[in-house]
C-alpha cells in the first residue's frame, strides 16, 4: 500500500489474541477480570448508591393460647381416660396375672401409667393427648411453636400432678400468682391458629 507521494505505509496489525480466548481476534480484547475478584461474584452497585443491606430475620409468630374452657374440658377428658381405664385394669384384670399383689397398688400404677402414655408420649409423638386432640388443640413450644421435647413434657406432667394437691396449701399460705403458668415454656393452642400461621400442614 502506498500514498500519493509513492512512499509505502506500513499496514496496521491488530494485537495478537490472548491464548485460550478464540473470540479475542474477532471481537477485540474482552474486559479483564480483576485478579482479586472471584469468577461469578455479583457486580458492585452503581457509583453513588449504597450497597444493599441484609434483611434481619423475621420473628416467629406463635399462636395465642387456647381458652381456659377448652383446656379444662381437655384435662377432664384426659382424667376420665386415666381413671376409667387404669382403675378397672388394676383392680380386675392385672390381679389375675399377678397373684399376691395388692389390687389397689396396681390400680394406682395403671392410672399413672395411662396418664404418662397419654399426656407425655401422646404429646411428644402426636403433639396432643387424647383430650386435646378431641378438642382440636396441639402442644407447642412457647418460643417458636415447634414440637416440645420429651423431658420438657415430663416436667410439665409432674407439675400438673402437683397442681391440685398444692391448691389448699397455697390458699392457706395466701400465695400470689400462679407458679404453673408458662413454667415449662409450653403452650396449648388451637389447630386452626397453627394452620393460619403455617406451623401445621
Question: How far lies 154's CA from each of 84, 117, 123, 135, 143, in Å?
Answer: 22, 11, 10, 22, 18
How confident is the model over 62-80, as a mean pLDDT? 91
**Three-state SS annotation for 108-147:** HHHHHHHHHHHHHHHHHHHCCCHHHHHCCEEEEECCCCCC
CA distance 148 to 182: 13
Residue 152 pLDDT: 93
pLDDT confidence band for 165 (50 / 70 / 90): confident
Which pLDDT band holds residue 27 (cuts at 50, 70, 90)? very low
Determine which helix (DSSP H) or strand (DSSP E) holds 186, and give its type and residue range. Answer: strand 186-190
pTM check: above 0.95 = no
Q: Which three cell numbers stand for residue 59?
A: 420473628
Quote the CA–CA distance of 154 and 166 in Å, as a whole number. Answer: 18
The 10 Å Cβ neighbour count of residue 42 is 5
Average pLDDT over residues 173-183: 66
**Rounded Cα–Cα distance for residues 136 and 141 (Å):** 17
Stronger pLDDT, 49 or 161, i.e. the higher one: 161
Average pLDDT, the chain: 78
Q: How confident is the model at residue 172 (pLDDT cuts 50, 70, 90)?
A: confident
Segment 98-139, tens digit of pLDDT: 777 888 999 999 999 999 999 999 999 999 999 999 999 999
The pLDDT score that the predictor gives to residue 19 is 54
Is 183's pLDDT higher than 60? yes
Pairing of strands 137-141, 186-190: antiparallel
Q: Do 2 and 9 touch, CB atoms closer than 8 A?
A: yes
- pLDDT over 70 percentage in the chain: 66
Amino acid at each position: 500500500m502506498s500514498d500519493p507521494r509513492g512512499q509505502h505505509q506500513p499496514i496496521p496489525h491488530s494485537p495478537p489474541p490472548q491464548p485460550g480466548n478464540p473470540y479475542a481476534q474477532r471481537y477485540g480484547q474482552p474486559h479483564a477480570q480483576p485478579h482479586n475478584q472471584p469468577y461469578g461474584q455479583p457486580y458492585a452497585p452503581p457509583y453513588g448508591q449504597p450497597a444493599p443491606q441484609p434483611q434481619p430475620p423475621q420473628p416467629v409468630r406463635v399462636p395465642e393460647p387456647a381458652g381456659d374452657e377448652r383446656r379444662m374440658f381437655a384435662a377432664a377428658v384426659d382424667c376420665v381416660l386415666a381413671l376409667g381405664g387404669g382403675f378397672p385394669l388394676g383392680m380386675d384384670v392385672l390381679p389375675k396375672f399377678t397373684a399376691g399383689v395388692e389390687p389397689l397398688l396396681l390400680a394406682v400404677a395403671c392410672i399413672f401409667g395411662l396418664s404418662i402414655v397419654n399426656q407425655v408420649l401422646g404429646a411428644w409423638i402426636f403433639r396432643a393427648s387424647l383430650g386435646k386432640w378431641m378438642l382440636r388443640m396441639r402442644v407447642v413450644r412457647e418460643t417458636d411453636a415447634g414440637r416440645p421435647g420429651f423431658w420438657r413434657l415430663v416436667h410439665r406432667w409432674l407439675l400438673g400432678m402437683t397442681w391440685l394437691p398444692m391448691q389448699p396449701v397455697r390458699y392457706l399460705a395466701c400465695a400470689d400468682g400462679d407458679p404453673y403458668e408458662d413454667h415449662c415454656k409450653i403452650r396449648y393452642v388451637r389447630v386452626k391458629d397453627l394452620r393460619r400461621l403455617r406451623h401445621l400442614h
